[in-house]
Amino acid sequence: MRKFFSYSIIYIIISSFFGCAGVNYLPSVSETDVNKYEDIYLAEYGRIKSETSVKSLVKWVQPSNKSEECKVFVGTSKENDRTIKPDYKIFWDGDCKNGYAYGLGREFEKGILTDMEAIAIYPGKEQEPEYYYQKFNLNDKILEGDLQNGYFVETTINDNGINFNLSYMYGFFSDKEPNLLNVSSPLSDTVIHHKTYPNFYYTIVDFRNNEFDDRNFKFLITDRKTEKETGFGIENTKQGYSNAAEVINGQLVKRVKLPDSYYNKVNTILNEIRDAGNKALGAQQKALIVKKQYKKKICNDNIEVTFIDNLEYKAICDEDKYLSKIKEKLDAELAKINEQKAQKRVQLKQERQTRAQEMQAVAAQRQAQAAEEANLNSTLDNMNTANQLQQLNNNLFYMRMGW
Is the per-residue pLDDT at 44 higher than 90? Answer: yes
Residue 209: predicted pLDDT: 95
Instruction: For residue 14, give the 3-state DSSP assignment.
Output: coil
* Mean pLDDT, residues 154-180 taken together: 94
Residue 162: predicted pLDDT: 87
DSSP calls for 157-196: EEE-SS-EEEEEEEEE--SSS-EEEEEE-TT-S-EEEEEE
Of residues 86 and 377, which shows the higher confidence score? 86
Separation CA 153–CA 171 (nearest Å): 7
Residue 124: predicted pLDDT: 97
Q: Is 153 in contact with 144 (CB distance < 8 Å)?
A: yes
Residue 280: predicted pLDDT: 98
Is the per-residue pLDDT at 96 higher than 80? Answer: yes
* Mean pLDDT, residues 90-109 taken together: 98
Separation CA 272–CA 241 (nearest Å): 24
Instruction: For residue 396, give the 3-state DSSP assignment.
Output: helix
What pLDDT band is residue 72 in, cutting at 50, 70 and 90?
very high
What pLDDT band is residue 176 in, cutting at 50, 70 and 90?
confident
Single pTM value for the model? 0.83
What pLDDT band is residue 228 in, cutting at 50, 70 and 90?
very high
Residue 161: predicted pLDDT: 83
Domains of the chain by residue range: 23-308, 331-403
* Angular region, 235: left φ>0, alpha ψ -120 to 50, beta rest: beta
| pLDDT tens, residue by residue, 329-378 | 999 999 999 999 999 999 888 888 888 787 887 777 887 777 776 666 66
| pLDDT tens, residue by residue, 2-24 | 655 444 444 444 455 555 544 56
| pLDDT tens, residue by residue, 113-125 | 999 999 999 999 9
Residue 19: predicted pLDDT: 55
- CA-wise closest residue to 113 among 81, 82, 134, 92: 82
Of residues 1 and 110, which shows the higher confidence score? 110
